[in-house]
């Protein structure tokens, strides 16, 4: 897809960070933007910013992205208000529980998978008929550099982003003979608020989250235009990509050493106590 003027672009997680920048940038490019997020107040701010850029129709919906019923209703609303979607940006996500496996309960694993992975499946299935009806379209699924490599204290998050990767790579093959392109995005170190709720979120942000969301969004849009199927970018993404080439034992040692200062001592006291039982 080479241009987006008068095309319908759907963005999830549009209230802030990369999601907001997707909505604003596509509005600048002349698209009809449909945006959704669970945060009503901040989504309204994004919608207001979009309306200052364009006088074209928009669609704004507060929605629980993890609800399949809500996703199907949103897809129908977009179609009725704006027409069939041309591009879907599956951007919504949460940072996960921020704890090692033994310190994290199953409810957190389920929540992270529902928001980060199953919502991508639901959105894709809901909107794919619209893209096919247009005989033109792009599905953009946002994984993470943590969808390339497992890191400590992020098992639920990594699992969800690895799942997005596997789903997207399969979808690429399945849609290879159609006019629909599939793009898998692995951002690294983007300066968003995704880590704000974790115990060491501020420390993690200061150390790793450096790349501006707008820079990331423009890389993705260029990738859609050129048909690039995998995009890996952002602060320290090259280093993490290099680590995937190392023997697993050496990679694990390197990651353990690099991220040891972000450990919560209480989690490892719990691990010791478990071993004493």
Q: Which of 108, 107, 105 is nearest to 96 (CA)?
A: 108
Instruction: Please spell the DSSP secondary structure of 59-115, one letter per residue.
Output: EEEE--TT-HHHHHHHHHHHHHHH-S-SEEEE--------S-GGGS-HHHHHHHHII
The model's pTM: 0.89
In the chain, pLDDT over 90 holds for what percent of residues? 77
pLDDT tens string 112-171: 999 999 999 999 999 999 999 999 999 999 999 999 999 999 999 999 999 999 999 999
Q: What are the tokens at 30?
A: 């002349």
**Confidence band, pLDDT 50/70/90 cuts, at residue 76:** very high
What pLDDT does residue 195 have?
46
- In sequence order, the β-bridge partners of residue 190 are 211
Mean pLDDT computed over 32-40: 97
Q: What are the tokens at 21?
A: 């920048």
Cite the active site residues. 157
Residue 37 has pLDDT above 60, yes or no: yes
Most confident of 42-56, 185-199, 200-214, 228-242: 42-56
Domains of the chain: 8-276 (3.40.50.720)
What pLDDT does residue 261 have?
79
Mean pLDDT computed over 195-209: 52
């Amino acid at each position: 897809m080479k241009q987006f003027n008068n095309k319908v672009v759907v963005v999830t997680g549009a209230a802030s960070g990369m999601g907001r920048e997707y909505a604003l940038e596509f509005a600048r490019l002349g698209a009809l933007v449909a945006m959704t997020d669970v945060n009503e107040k901040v989504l309204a701010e994004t919608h207001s910013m979009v309306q200052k850029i364009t006088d074209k129709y928009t669609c704004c919906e507060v929605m629980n992205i993890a609800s399949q019923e809500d996703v199907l209703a949103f897809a129908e609303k977009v179609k009725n208000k704006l027409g069939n979607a041309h591009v879907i940006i599956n951007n919504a996500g949460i940072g996960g529980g921020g704890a090692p496996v033994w310190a994290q309960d199953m409810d957190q694993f389920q929540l992270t998978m529902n928001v980060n992975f199953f919502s991508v499946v639901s959105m894709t299935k809901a909107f794919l008929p619209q893209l096919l009806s247009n005989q033109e379209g792009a599905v953009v699924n946002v994984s993470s550099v943590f969808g390339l490599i497992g890191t400590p204290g992020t098992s639920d998050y990594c699992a969800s982003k690895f799942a997005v990767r596997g789903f997207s790579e399969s979808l690429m093959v399945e849609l290879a003979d159609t006019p629909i392109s599939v793009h898998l995005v692995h951002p690294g170190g983007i300066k968003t608020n995704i880590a704000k709720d974790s115990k060491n979120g501020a420390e993690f942000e200061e150390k790793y989250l450096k790349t501006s969301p707008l820079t990331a969004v423009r890389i993705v849009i260029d990738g859609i235009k050129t048909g690039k199927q995998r995009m890996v970018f952002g602060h320290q993404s090259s280093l993490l990509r290099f680590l995937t080439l190392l023997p697993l034992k050496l990679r694990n040692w390197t990651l353990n050493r690099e991220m040891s200062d972000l450990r919560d001592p209480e989690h490892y006291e719990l691990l010791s106590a478990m071993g004493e039982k």
